[in-house]
Amino acid sequence: MSNSIVHYASITKKITMSIIGLFLAIFLLIHLSINLLLLSSDGGKSFAAAADFMGTNIFIQIFEKVLFLAFILHILLGIFLWWYNQSARPIKYVKPNVSTTSSGSKFMIHTGVIVFIFLILHFLNFYLVKIGVVNVPEGAASQHDFYTMAQMLFGNVFYSVVYIISFIALGIHLNHAIQSGFQSLGLEHSKYTNFIKGLSTVYAILIVIGFSIIPIYFLIAA
Amino acid sequence: MDLTLKIWRQANAQAKGKMVDYKVSNISPDSSFFEMLDILNQQIIEKGDDPVAFDHDCREGICGTCSLYINGRPHGPESGITTCQLHMRRFKDGDTIFVEPWRAKAFPIIKDLIVNRGAFDEIIQAGGYVSIGTGGTPDANAIPIPKYDSDKAMDAAACIGCGACVATCKNASAMLFVAAKVSQFAYLPQGKVEAKRRVQAMVAKMDELGFGNCSNTYACEQECPKEISVSNIAKMNREFLSAKLCGQTQE
Amino acid sequence: MTKLNSKVPEGPLAQKWTKYIEEQKLVNPSNKRKLDIIVVGTGLAGGSAAASFGEAGYNVKSFCYQDSPRRAHSIAAQGGINAAKNYPNDGDSIYRLFYDTIKGGDYRSREANVYRLATVSNNIIDQCVAQGVPFAREYGGLLSTRSFGGAQVSRTFYARGQTGQQLLLGAYSALSRQIKAGTVKMYTRRDVLDIVVIDGRARGIIVRNLVTGEIERHSAHAVVLATGGYANAFFLSTNAMGSNVTPAWSAYKKGAFFANPCYMQIHPTCIPVHGDFQSKLTLMSESLRNDGRIWVPKNIEDAEKVRKGQLKANDIKEDDRDYYLERRYPAFGNLVPRDVASRAAKERCDAGYGVGTGFAVFLDFKDPIKRLGKDVIEARYGNLFQMYEKIVDDNPYETPMMIYPASHYVMGGLWVDYELMSTIQGMYVLGEANFSDHGANRLGASALMQGLADGYFVIPNTIANYLADQIHVPRFTGKEIEFDEAQNAVQARLDKLMNIKGSQSVDEFHKKLGKIMWNYVGMARTAESLKIALEEIPKLRAEFWKDVKVTGNQQEYNPELEKANRVVDFLELGELIARDALHREESCGGHFREEHQTENGEAKRNDADFMYVGAWEYKGEDNPPELHKEPLIYENIEVKIRNYK
């Protein structure tokens, strides 16, 4: 694998990374909008309806496969680039670099790893339950009763803290990632650069807050 | 001023190097960083030891020969200058100053603080030119060039090839250097003719030489003594993408 | 005297170059591959020459001491490059550029060479634009020009304050293209230590690989030197630290004549020396004199207080200031030519009116700021003010700048004929390293023009005329006895330097030489001062060979050895400069003899006795060099007195 990846130009890899990344960012927004339905006071009816739609619509089913592929590529490419970039400076500086950099840009691999770990947890708790690999937790009506599963998980303070921390990491990741994706694609213009950077930050904050209020809501409710 | 210097010493490319401590005293705050090193070297020579080797030539910030990674920043703590333009008044009496060479796989150490930046020349040789010979060129005013484009090309062309961008990049990427050249020609009608071939050839050479990828940390822009903008990198990405998508295959 | 044949073609001035090209011998493309050319130096002249040779199909070897050909000191030129394009429609022409250059050179340059320079100046601009050099442009998209010292027209093309850099990068890119194509082989970090002459023809060089210390031999059918100037003989100069005379000096010792070494340009607007440890002087663009007013305190007591820090420049009242340039030269004021401005500053400082360390004068922007507003001044000089502030840590908007002259450029160099060939057959000298085009004084923005003219347009033609006869000469192997001899001599010299193991560092000697040069062979010379120099320099040289300390060893990267080897040659060259200056009993351009001045302190030429090129022939270590004269004949220009009052 690595040989064929090496074969592609560095910029090709960056462009691939950014296209996938921006795609994943759009997915996040969809995911968030569905999750926010958890907050509606109808006992999870609208959330269940949305989940049901996501679980059965044929278009979404195809989209899901693409999404998995994107995740895998994004992660593998990210790890590969990190490894490759490390090797471009075999001997490190004694005095660590103190240049000003785009915030979070130096920690993409770190925040990425945190998000990845969370992703595994998330799969164990939801996706693998859905497809029947992991047993339905006690208390949930069926393997599709995500509302109850979420309610139970978020009732756990420890899980909620892990959840929020993961999203803060994702926020840091996104804050750099969105504008970086535009830069890699060459979508840059002095008139719009600041807007894109702002958008990047606003988006990151939106994701962090949007996802984090859900466990907070459930904690308070519990 | 009295200072403690921690300097990377390495006898040659093969030798193992290490940080060595030196002390200098009575340094005038008005002297330049290199003049301070000159004084240190004078001390070392008086003792009969080998003076610290460092690259320098014009000492006015234009030739791009000087390097030095000072206290975690290429060209030291002040932005927009080269090491030769750095003056000791930027430091405090009693400071400890770390001085290291540029670190990158593509810039092997020759001695002490001197590295081989031949990789930059190789990148230019791969396509950093307009393929015309001497003579037989049209009148200089035959092709009007919008002032905006010309100014943008000049901004990019100001690169002195010092390698600070590589030195500061966490990935030792040469993207800003390559982008500056690609972008200069991309702005000008003279360079457009072979733009697609150029960007692919230069990027391929850059990759081959072992520079890392760009992570868009923008540290390069912060440390560039000529303050070359990372918008040139975006422009190169654009050029590259269009060359890959609709350019002819390379010969 | 018959030895110097300038080989200027017959015919009317304007047709000489065309006629030459029409009649020169050519080399068939298939033969060019069999011919080797060595080019030393990769500045504007050397870089453009090597690239042009490569394009033509010759087999080229290019050498530089820097780590990359892009770093040659041509890169530091700021102002611009002249060309007789007449784009602004202000009456410029090839003849006018020619005339201004001859006049600016105080009638000490060769007519035919200068006319050719003016002719090809236009091609240079075309060439550079085609290469992608981003010259400044107007909103209409056409090239912008500005005016420069010594001319009444606007003919200077520029790329911000980095014209030299952009032109050099143009030549470097052309060179890089040839390196890729395999026609040019590039050797960086090499010091050229000797020229190899076989049967009276230059056939190779001996170089030291600065990284490994290895001594290498390189052979060729012709050798081209484009090694720049030797202002570093003054230790403090605006040249790069590595700029040196060694290749040119080796050529001199092998039979190339050294012409007019005493013509040195001292630039008036440099940042003054601030201490003993200073290594280098920084030039600030001459354009500052367009608005800035130069002055020193009128009372010597005030000057003393200023030097002691008891009195600030701004506290000195208007009546107590001496705007000496405006006082002495009411017509040109602060805009007198470089040599005049430099000497006037020295005169004031020597008289005790200097400020700062005593060797500085004020350059004041208070009045123009009041008249035009800070914004206008910032737009015009902002980057220069910033540079000054970074170096000196003083705000020029509030307190006057301090400036002092510094050695900057040399008009003298190896003697060459019309074909740029030295007195050694097959050895060519280009750019600042030769003596040919600037006479006794160079005008601003002309150095870049000359370097590129020589490299792109002159030498590719003239070298063919020589090489056409060389096609039957087989490649040299580098094993010829002359190579052995040259290498042995170089090795012996390096061994000798390493083995002295004295007590003083190379820099100490270089600084001492610099002081002698500056004090006795500097801006204003007298027979007396020059005689002192002629005594002091040999003494210093003897001391050097007894007491210099070179650390490290030869088989490694050794900057001390590099410096030592360069200083050896400066120590010899310094003497030749003084000797030439002593023999030239007149004042002209960059050579000012205090004995030869008008009542008003202006330079007084002696055309009757000295209208010639003084070319020195090396006669061995123990004998004085012999002077040869090439008379200068002005057929197309009326010789006048330069007057800027």
CA distance A200 to chain B (A): 14
Could you read off the pLDDT of B40-74 as tens digits, one per residue? 999 999 998 999 999 999 999 999 999 999 999 99
3-state secondary structure (DSSP) of residue C611: coil
Bridge partners for C137 per DSSP: C143
- Cβ neighbour number for residue C645 with a 10 Å cutoff: 11
3-state secondary structure (DSSP) of residue C447: helix
CB-based contact B216 A88, cutoff 8 Å: no
Domain spanning B117-246 has what CATH number? 1.10.1060.10
| Whole-Å CA distances, B131 to A181, B182, C166, C428 | 33, 14, 17, 27
Distance CA C586, CA C602 (A): 11
Sheet order of strands, C612-617 included = C413-414, C258-259, C612-617, C626-631
Q: What is the mean pLDDT of residues C165-193?
A: 98
Scan for tokens 């063919």, then name that residue. Answer: C464
Q: What is the predicted pLDDT for the residue at C382?
A: 84
Query: Does the structure's ipTM exceed the value 0.90?
Result: yes
Q: What is the mean pLDDT of residues C71-84?
A: 94
**Structure tokens that stand for A156 in this block:** 């756990």
CB-based contact B71 A90, cutoff 8 Å: no
Q: Find out whether C76 and C485 touch, Cβ atoms under 8 Å.
A: no
H or E segment to which residue C607 belongs: helix C607-610
Q: What is the predicted pLDDT for the residue at B249?
A: 57
- For helices C246-253 and C559-583, angle between their N-to-C axes, nearest 10 degrees: 60
Residues 116-145 of C with CB under 8 A from B: 123, 125-143
Range from C58-67, C73-82, C255-264, C278-287 carrying the lowest mean pLDDT: C278-287
Using the predicted structure, report yes or no on whether residue C645 has a pLDDT greater than 80: no
Q: Find out whether C105 and C412 touch, Cβ atoms under 8 Å.
A: no
Q: Is A58 on the interface with B (CB under 8 A)?
A: no
Domains defined for chain A, CATH in brackets:
2-221 (1.20.1300.10)
Domain assignments of chain B as residue spans, ordered by start: 3-100, 117-246
Q: What is the predicted pLDDT for the residue at A25?
A: 96
Q: Residues near B231 by Cβ (< 8 Å), separated by ≥ 6?
A: A188, A190, A193
List CB contacts (< 8 A) between C285 and chain B: none
Q: How confident is the model at residue C239 (pLDDT cuts 50, 70, 90)?
A: very high
Q: Find out whether B57 and B65 touch, Cβ atoms under 8 Å.
A: yes
In a mutational test of the B interface, the residue from A6, A13, A95 whose CB has the highest number of chain B CBs within 10 Å is A95
Q: Find out whether C403 and C286 touch, Cβ atoms under 8 Å.
A: no
Q: What is the predicted pLDDT for the residue at A1?
A: 35
Using the predicted structure, report yes or no on whether residue B157 has a pLDDT greater than 70: yes
Q: Find out whether C122 and C95 touch, Cβ atoms under 8 Å.
A: no
Q: How confident is the model at residue A6 (pLDDT cuts 50, 70, 90)?
A: low
Q: Which CATH number applies to C268-406: 3.30.70.600, 3.30.479.30, 3.90.700.10, 3.40.50.300? A: 3.90.700.10
Amino acid symbol at C399: T
Q: Which residue of B has its CA nearest to A13?
A: B213
Q: Is C29 on the interface with B (CB under 8 A)?
A: no
| Whole-Å CA distances, B145 to A61, B190, C132, C428 | 53, 10, 11, 38
- For helices C163-181 and C111-131, angle between their N-to-C axes, nearest 10 degrees: 70
User: What does DSSP say about strands C59-63 and C36-40: parallel, antiparallel, or unpaired?
Assistant: parallel
Q: What is the mean pLDDT of residues A72-94?
A: 95
Tell which residue, C322, C331, C330, has the closest CA to residue C351: C322
Q: What is the predicted pLDDT for the residue at C1?
A: 43
Q: What is the predicted pLDDT for the residue at C127?
A: 98
**Structure tokens that stand for C248 in this block:** 């040119």
| Whole-Å CA distances, C144 to B150, B185, C286, C379 | 11, 20, 19, 17
Distance CA C102, CA C443 (A): 10
CB-based contact C166 B154, cutoff 8 Å: yes
Q: What is the predicted pLDDT for the residue at A131?
A: 87
In a mutational test of the C interface, the residue from B33, B58, B66, B151 whose CB has the highest number of chain C CBs within 10 Å is B58
Bridge partners for C40 per DSSP: C63, C225
Mean of the per-residue pLDDT values of chain C: 94
Amino acid symbol at C526: T
**Structure tokens that stand for B26 in this block:** 């009575």
List CB contacts (< 8 A) between B173 and chain A: 10, 85, 88
- For helices A10-35 and A58-87, angle between their N-to-C axes, nearest 10 degrees: 140
- Cβ neighbour number for residue A33 with a 10 Å cutoff: 11
Share above pLDDT 90 across residues of chain B, in percent, rounded to a whole number:
97
Q: What is the predicted pLDDT for the residue at A5?
A: 55
Bridge partners for C285 per DSSP: none
List CB contacts (< 8 A) between B183 and chain C: none
Using the predicted structure, report yes or no on whether residue C19 has a pLDDT greater than 90: yes
Task: List helix spans (H) across C267-420.
Answer: 300-308, 324-328, 338-348, 366-372, 374-392
Using the predicted structure, report yes or no on whether residue C242 has a pLDDT greater than 70: yes
CA distance B224 to chain C (A): 16
List CB contacts (< 8 A) between A188 and chain B: 231, 234-235, 238
In a mutational test of the C interface, the residue from B24, B30, B31, B62 whose CB has the highest number of chain C CBs within 10 Å is B62
Q: How confident is the model at residue A56 (pLDDT cuts 50, 70, 90)?
A: confident
Using the predicted structure, report yes or no on whether residue C581 has a pLDDT greater than 70: yes
Amino acid symbol at A171: G
User: What does DSSP say about strands C222-225 and C36-40: parallel, antiparallel, or unpaired?
Assistant: parallel
Q: How confident is the model at residue C278 (pLDDT cuts 50, 70, 90)?
A: confident
Exposure string of C157-194, with b = 16+ CB inside 10 Å and e = fewer, is bbbbbbbbbbbbbbbbbbbbbbbbeebbbbbbbbbbbb
The CATH homologous superfamily for domain B3-100 is Beta-grasp domain (3.10.20.30)
Distance CA C142, CA C337 (A): 30
CB-based contact A88 B106, cutoff 8 Å: yes
Q: What is the predicted pLDDT for the residue at C644?
A: 65
CA torsion C204-C208-C212-C213 (nearest 10°) is 130
Closest by Cβ to B172, choosing from A9, A88, A176: A88
Using the predicted structure, report yes or no on whether residue A4 has a pLDDT greater than 60: no
Q: Is B193 on the interface with C (CB under 8 A)?
A: no
Q: Read off the DSSP letter of residue A155.
A: T
Q: What is the mean pLDDT of residues B242-247?
A: 88
CB-based contact C132 B60, cutoff 8 Å: no
Chains that touch C (3 or more CB pairs under 8 A): B
Using the predicted structure, report yes or no on whether residue C302 has a pLDDT greater than 50: yes
Domain spanning C493-612 has what CATH number? 1.20.58.100
In degrees and rounded to multiples of 5, residue C629 shows phi and psi of -120, 130
Using the predicted structure, report yes or no on whether residue C261 has a pLDDT greater than 60: yes
**Structure tokens that stand for C106 in this block:** 């105080």
CB-based contact A99 B168, cutoff 8 Å: yes
Closest by Cβ to C160, choosing from B44, B133, B154: B154
Q: How confident is the model at residue C284 (pLDDT cuts 50, 70, 90)?
A: confident
Scan for tokens 């950014």, then name that residue. Answer: A18
Share above pLDDT 70 across residues of chain C, in percent, rounded to a whole number:
99
Using the predicted structure, report yes or no on whether residue C363 has a pLDDT greater than 70: yes
Closest by Cβ to A102, choosing from B71, B218, B233: B218
Alpha carbon B202 to chain centroid distance? 17
Got the DSSP string for A185-213? Answer: TT---TTTHHHHHHHHHHHHHHHHHHHHH
Distance CA C161, CA B231 (A): 23
List CB contacts (< 8 A) between B78 and chain A: none
List CB contacts (< 8 A) between B49 and chain C: 551
Tell which residue, B30, B179, B166, has the closest CA to residue B105: B166
Domain assignments of chain C as residue spans, ordered by start: 268-406, 493-612
User: What does DSSP say about strands C59-63 and C184-187: parallel, antiparallel, or unpaired?
Assistant: parallel
CA distance A98 to chain B (A): 5
CB-based contact A89 B103, cutoff 8 Å: yes
CA distance A44 to chain B (A): 42
List CB contacts (< 8 A) between C69 and chain B: 121
| Whole-Å CA distances, C200 to C248, C424, C427, C482 | 17, 6, 10, 11
Could you read off the pLDDT of C25-54 as tens digits, one per residue? 999 999 999 999 999 999 999 999 999 999
Chain C meets chain A (3+ C-beta pairs below 8 A)? no
Amino acid symbol at C483: F
Q: What is the mean pLDDT of residues B98-112?
A: 97
Say what the pTM is. Answer: 0.95
Got the DSSP string for B6-35? Answer: EEEE-SSSSS--EEEEEEE-S--TTSBHHH
Residues 12-31 of B with CB under 8 A from C: 12, 28, 30-31
Could you read off the pLDDT of C370-423 as tens digits, one per residue? 999 999 888 778 888 988 988 888 999 999 999 999 999 999 999 999 999 999
User: What does DSSP say about strands C612-617 and C626-631: parallel, antiparallel, or unpaired?
Assistant: antiparallel
Q: What is the mean pLDDT of residues A41-70?
A: 90
Distance CA C284, CA C307 (A): 23
Q: What is the predicted pLDDT for the residue at B248?
A: 67
Distance CA C445, CA C432 (A): 13
